[in-house]
Structure 1
Amino acid sequence: MSTFALIGAGPGLGLATARRFGAAGHSVALISRSAQHLDELTTALTGDGVEAHGFPADVLEPASLTAALEAAAEVAGPVEILQYSPVPRADFMKPVVDTTAGDLDAPLGFSVKGPVTCVSAVLPGMREVGRGTVLFVNGASAVRPNPDRAGTSVAFAAESAYARMLHDALAPENIHVAQLIVPGAIRPEAEHSSPDVLAGRLLDIHRKRDGFRHYAEPMPD
């Protein structure tokens, strides 16, 4: 059984995506800061018949991320699908004129160093089995900078550049890297951006392996 590892497990999109990939036959490794949170999510997934395990880690602490992904591979097998979709902190979203150089340290650690750490941890296993998928989920500021959310705009743009370079570099190795842009808020009632709909899109992107950037819905002008 292949392993789906989710960075930024939560009760919304994270849980919906874990359910969808679990129902498709993948074991699930959930990674989040809160051990209690992970226990609740793994209990819910186990109740749905999904093999799920939780591994505490903080995306701003690279050593903890590496340790969590290594533990996941030991418990459930090499990670063949990695989804990086933690929710940015509110303090990343200062207006650009109020943003200092120091204010960018955490957003860049969150959206650049975190993904690089995760990919470095799972790439050897993907290469060993000869296949893999890496999924990045970002908001609209990844492609359209928002002056009121400077930290995430700068960091998401850097994450997008990294992901695009990975897409090009790893395609010859049968490792597909893709990005899903979610322009609006993720809400249960949203037609295109509900957790369940987005989870279906992510599974579809994994299966079709077609192109790098995808949009949950058209970007508003």
Structure 2
Amino acid sequence: MSSIAIVGAGPGLGAAVARRFGREGYDIALVARDPRRLDELVGALAAEGVTAHGFPADVRRPEELVAALDAAGRALGTVEVLQYSPVPHRDFMRPVLDTGHRDLVGPIEFSVYGPVAAVQQVLPGMRRLGRGTILFVNGGSAAVPHPERAGTSIAFAAESAYGHLLHDRLAGEGIHVAQLVIPGAIVAGHARKDPVVLAETLWGMHQDRHGFRHYADDLDS
């Protein structure tokens, strides 16, 4: 049985992706910081006929994230698809001239240390399978730096570089690495940024397996 681990799972995009992959027979591992909210999400999905399992972890604590993904792999089998899509904290989005070096610790932990720890945990299993997909989901500042959102602009750029390096390095091993850039907010009912639409986009990226960077919408939207 194939499984997907959704890091940063919540009631919006994470739940929509769980439903989409669940329809295809994937076992679902939800990773998020708050155990209570995880339980609520697992229960809500169960009421819709989607079986998911919660694994609490703070992405800014790599050892917790590694342990959660290890537990997911032992409970559900090898993680074939990893989605890294936690929502950044508001305090990461300071104007560039107000951003000191200590203000970058959180964004770097969130968008660099977390993804690296997650990938390093699941990659050996993907290599044993001879297949896998790693999906990074980022905001628009990953593509165009924003002077009022310095922390995410800097950290997303690093995450993007890491993902692109993985894309180039792992393609020959049957492991596809891709990034979805979502400009602005995820909006229910939006033609391109509704969670259900985005989940379909991510499913398509997993299936089509071409290119690294994809855009959910125009950057000026």
Q: Deviations over 1:71-125 (max 9, x none)?
A: 0001000100000000000000000000000000110010000000000000011
Is contact 1:137-1:182 (8 Å) kept?
yes
Contact 1:27/1:50, CA 8 A, preserved across alignment: no
Shift of 1:3: 0.6
Which amino acid in 2 is paired with 1:154?
I
How far apart, CA to CA, are the structure 1 residues paired with 2:148 and 2:138? 17
Aligned to 2:89: 89
1:109 aligns with 2:114: no
Query: Partner amino acid for 1:177?
Result: V
Q: Which residue of 1 aligns with 2:32?
A: 32
Write the distance in 1 (CA, Å) between the matches of 2:146 and 2:117: 26
Q: Is the 8 A contact 1:66 1:118 kept in 2?
A: yes
- How much has 1:24 moved relative to structure 2? 1.2
Aligned to 1:15: 15
Alignment TM-score, normalising by the size of structure 1: 0.98
Aligned counterpart, 1:73: 73
Give the number of equivalent residue pairs: 221
Q: For 2:184, give the aligned amino acid.
A: G
Structure 2: give runs of 5+ residues left out of the alignment: none
Cα distance between partner residues in 1 of 2:131 and 2:105: 33
What's the TM-score once normalised by structure 2's chain length? 0.98
Contact 1:96 1:150 (8 Å CA) reproduced: yes
Please report the RMSD computed on the Cα atoms of aligned residues, expressed in angstroms: 0.9
For residues 25 and 210 of structure 2, the distance between their equivalents in structure 1, rounded to whole angstroms, comes to 21
* Residues 124-177 of structure 1, C-alpha deviations (whole Å, 9 max, x = no match): 110111100000000110010000000000000000000000000000100000
Which residue pairs with 1:186 in the alignment?
186
- SS at the partner of 1:172? helix
Displacement of 1:50: 2.1
Shift of 1:47: 2.1
Unaligned runs of 5+ in 1: none
Aligned to 2:60: 60
Q: Percent identical across equivalent pairs?
A: 59
Task: Say which SS state the counterpart of residue 136 (structure 1) adopts.
Answer: strand
Match for residue 139 of structure 1?
139
State the distance in 2 between where 1:61 and 1:110 align: 9
Deviation at 1:220, TM superposition (A): 1.9
Q: Which amino acid counterpart does residue 215 of structure 2 have in structure 1?
A: Y
Q: Distance in 2 between matches of 1:134 and 1:180?
A: 11
- Residues 6-33 of structure 1 show CA distances to partners (whole Å, capped at 9, x for unaligned) of 0001011111111111111100000001
